[in-house]
Amino acid sequence: MATTEFGQAVRRWRDRVSPEAAGLPGGGRRRAPGLRREELSQLSGISVDYITRLEQGRATRPSEQVVEALARALRLSGQERAHLFRLAGVQPPGPECVPTHLTPSVQRVLDRLTGTPVAVYDATWTLLTANPPYDALMGDTSRWRGRERNGVWRTFLGLSDRVRQDARSRRALERALVADLRAATARYPADQRLRRLIADLRTHSERFAELWDTGITGRHESARKTIDHPQAGAVTLDCDILTLEGSDLHIMVYTAEPGSEDAERLALITALGLQTFVA
């Protein structure tokens, strides 16, 4: 019964959110004003098939990560999010776990930066959401599944990345990411998902294990980065990372100096979006 109610709630809230409100292109003929399943899939990183089975009551026991991703994509309030967790029969993450909830205020910030590439990561550097300009710049992040959504995993396991790096910048990034994870373990020692991530990284990456065993500390700092875009070419941007006190969410923002060639190139990339660019 709970699973059926869960599916009904997802469908009801999906119908409530317009594509424009979610930062997606609207227009065209639509049978309903809300999000299509394909659009909810893009926003949440959950497959269309699984969303369909959840809504139809054919899938049982959605995980905490699935419920959180749906709540975030559907822009649920705190009370609505808690209700969705109850319907799923899943305990909401407690204060001892890495926060993954996007508050309405954070969502409003994203909504207002419509022409600026922005992504939000949690304290483990797992991607929570990215706006269309970020996807246009870096590739379609909605295709990333599981560990692919974690920036530390992508860095140490050599997954494709458009950011140009020399040996020095790569070493600096690796050290900063390991230091960030170590800081996260100090703040959230009971988070089992974080523990599994570190164990898997140690197993699959000798470089990560080497750095982890040094006890490295430090912080991830802002930098200028050159992104090799497959169609627009190289664009050099300022990458600033804003960390929210109390939630440890990392907001990554890419900007260019106004009037510069890079600003013009970024505007072109943002305007064209994902219509012709392939990740």
Judge whether 127 and 146 are in contact, CB under 8 Å. Answer: no
Average pLDDT taken over every residue of the chain: 88
For range 125-132, the mean pLDDT? 92
Q: Which of 231, 235, 228, 226 is nearest to 275 (CA)?
A: 231
Four-point Cα dihedral 15, 21, 23, 26, nearest 10: 70
Question: What does the alpha-carbon distance between residue 242 and residue 121 come to, in Å, rounded to a whole number?
Answer: 10
The string of pLDDT tens digits covering residues 176-215 is: 999 999 999 999 999 999 999 999 999 999 999 999 999 8
Token pair recorded at residue 15: 């119908």
The string of pLDDT tens digits covering residues 15-28 is: 998 887 777 776 66
Do the domains at 2-88 and 104-272 have one common CATH topology? no
Class of domain 104-272: alpha beta
The string of pLDDT tens digits covering residues 37-79 is: 999 998 888 999 999 999 999 987 898 889 999 998 899 988 8
* 28 φψ region: left (φ > 0), alpha (ψ -120 to 50), beta (else): left
For range 157-169, the mean pLDDT? 90
Decide if pLDDT at 3 tops 80.
no
- pLDDT for res 1: 42
- pTM of the model as a whole: 0.81
- pLDDT for res 98: 93
The domains of the chain are located at 2-88, 104-272
pLDDT band at 94 (very low <50, low <70, confident <90, very high): confident
Provide the CATH topology of domain 2-88.
434 Repressor (Amino-terminal Domain) (1.10.260)
Decide if pLDDT at 2 tops 60.
no
